[in-house]
A and B are shown apart, each in its own frame.
Chain A
Amino acid sequence: DIVMTQSPLRLPVRPGEPASISCRSSQSLLHRNGYNYVDWYQQKPGQSPQLLIYLTSIRASGVPARFSGSGSGTDFTLKISRVEAEDVAVYYCMQALQPTWTFGQGTKVEMK
């Protein structure tokens, strides 16, 4: 299995500040088609997860521009340019390169 390791696991931020979450995979997630198969999901308290980013950097429909994804190979990052109160949630990375997919442990973003 590919192991996905997120850091930090808890991220206190102030509104308006930037936030960054790292995700490292135990194997390269680069497909021969040139895409890295990493998604980011947001799960707000009491809700189902929602897709934020797929294929490393493509924002899903309706996702605000303050969310961005980057990376390649084994190192990936989710950035929130200016955190808003509604961004309080747990964020998960997930690899979809192998036939069996795996999630990271999750990073809890909370307000200071």
Chain B
Amino acid sequence: QITLRESGPTLIKPRQTLTLTCSCSGFSLSTAGVGVGWIRQPPGKGLEWVGLVYWDDDVRYSPSLKSRVTITRDPSKNQVVLRMTNMDPVDTATYFCAHNRVGYNFYYYGLDVWGLGATVTVSS
């Protein structure tokens, strides 16, 4: 059974750097085709795609966040880490990680398993 669990600070001050960890189980981050994405949701608003890392360290970022975001993969711990610099109150949101898989000929299976989310508030 695939599960993902987000962890990190619930409160962070403006201009600080946020670090969130997605702990994965039931699959290996080293398996060909596996990816883990990050998605965030401000209170009462819609979903925003943040970025994604694949098993081969191919990483993609939202253009609007690219200058501030780094996503890395730690196969030894089966974890994915999201790092976002220069946090602002507008970054207050629930941050989700989700499992993805791609197969032969770019066949794709969606973001099929999501974590429960980590709520982060940016405030002084």
Least Cβ–Cβ distance between B27 and chain A, in angstroms: 15
Q: Is A22 an interface residue (CB 8 A)?
A: no
Q: Give the number of residues in B that approach A within 8 Å (Cβ atoms).
A: 25
Chain B residues numbered 57-108 whose CB sits less than 8 Å from any CB in chain A: 60-63, 96, 98, 105-108
B96–A48 CB distance below 8 A? yes
A33–B107 CB distance below 8 A? yes
Residues in chain B near residue A11, CB distance under 8 A: none
Q: Is B110 an interface residue (CB 8 A)?
A: yes
Residues in chain B near residue A1, CB distance under 8 A: 63
- Chain B, residues 27-65, CB within 8 Å of chain A (1/0): the string is 000000000010100000011110010000000111100
Residues in chain A near residue B114, CB distance under 8 A: 48-50
Q: Is the interface of A mostly helix, strand, loop or mixed?
A: loop
Q: How far is the CA of A106 from the CA of B39 in the complex (A)?
A: 14
Least Cβ–Cβ distance between A98 and chain B, in angstroms: 9
B61–A100 CB distance below 8 A? yes
- Chain B, residues 6-21, CB within 8 Å of chain A (1/0): the string is 0000000000000000
Nearest residue (CB) in B for A53 is B110
A103–B46 CB distance below 8 A? yes
Residues in chain B near residue A51, CB distance under 8 A: 110-112
A33–B110 CB distance below 8 A? no
- Chain A, residues 78-112, CB within 8 Å of chain B (1/0): the string is 00000000000010101010011111111000000
Nearest residue (CB) in B for A31 is B106
One of B48, B63, B117 near A103 (C-beta < 8 A): B48
Residues in chain A near residue B96, CB distance under 8 A: 48-49
A61, A90, A101: residue with the most chain B Cβ atoms closer than 10 Å: A101
Residues in chain A near residue B37, CB distance under 8 A: 101
Chain A residues numbered 26-56 whose CB sits less than 8 Å from any CB in chain B: 31, 33, 35, 37, 39, 41, 43, 48-51, 53-55
